[in-house]
Amino acid sequence: MRSTSSLLHKLKTDYPDIFFIPGDTFLWDPDLKTVFYVNDGPQSKALLLHEVSHGLLQHREYKRDIELLAMEAAAWDKAKELAELYHFPINDAVAEDHLDTYRDWLHSRSSCVNCSATGYQSGKETYTCPACNAEWRVNEARICELRRYKVKTQ
């Protein structure tokens, strides 16, 4: 894969309010207005445009997990627009594969710890099961392993 350095140079020029720092993973930090990136990893150009898109869309926080999925989808849509602008196509399968990780994450978080029914989010880190009334809380787990803790069982 060719280096992202040419694209990175264009992005730095076009978006001087966004900072770019090499790192171990791709990440948008809204407080620092910084995109952390891996220079020559698989799909690095697409992932770089995706993180820049979070910045351009001013993504910060979310209250419900489904909002995070919506932000991710919006960032991929914006990344595809940017890719056309920079003459670099993003394969739809790449975006969908990355979105699938968030869909899987959301499904895991919402699965009842008692009966495996799909629960609903009742707080920032809590879910409730409509089938058995169990409640559980979850950790953020976007980067680390998901943990679910039983709070209440009916």
Beta bridge partners of 20: 35
Q: pTM above the 0.85 mark?
A: yes
* 27 and 91 assigned to the same domain: yes
Q: Has residue 117 got a pLDDT over 70?
A: yes
* 81 and 48 assigned to the same domain: yes
Q: Show which of 91, 107, 123 is a domain's final residue.
A: 107
For β-strands 126-128 and 148-152, DSSP reports them as unpaired
* 79 and 140 assigned to the same domain: no
- Report, as an integer, the average pLDDT of 99-108: 93
- How sure is the predictor about 144, in pLDDT bands with cuts at 50, 70 and 90? very low
Write down the pLDDT at residue 39.
85
Q: Which two tokens stand for residue 90?
A: 């993003």
The per-residue pLDDT for range 59-92, each reduced to its tens digit, is: 999 999 999 999 999 999 999 999 999 998 899 9
Question: Domain of 50: which CATH number?
Answer: 1.10.10
C-alpha distances out from residue 96 to 30, 51, 85, 88, 143, Å: 24, 15, 21, 17, 18
- How sure is the predictor about 140, in pLDDT bands with cuts at 50, 70 and 90? confident
Q: Identify whether the C-beta of residue 6 lies closer than 8 Å to the C-beta of residue 21.
A: no
Instruction: Specify the length of the chain in residues.
Output: 154
* 20 and 80 assigned to the same domain: yes
* 87 and 147 assigned to the same domain: no
Q: Which domain holds residue 76?
A: 5-107
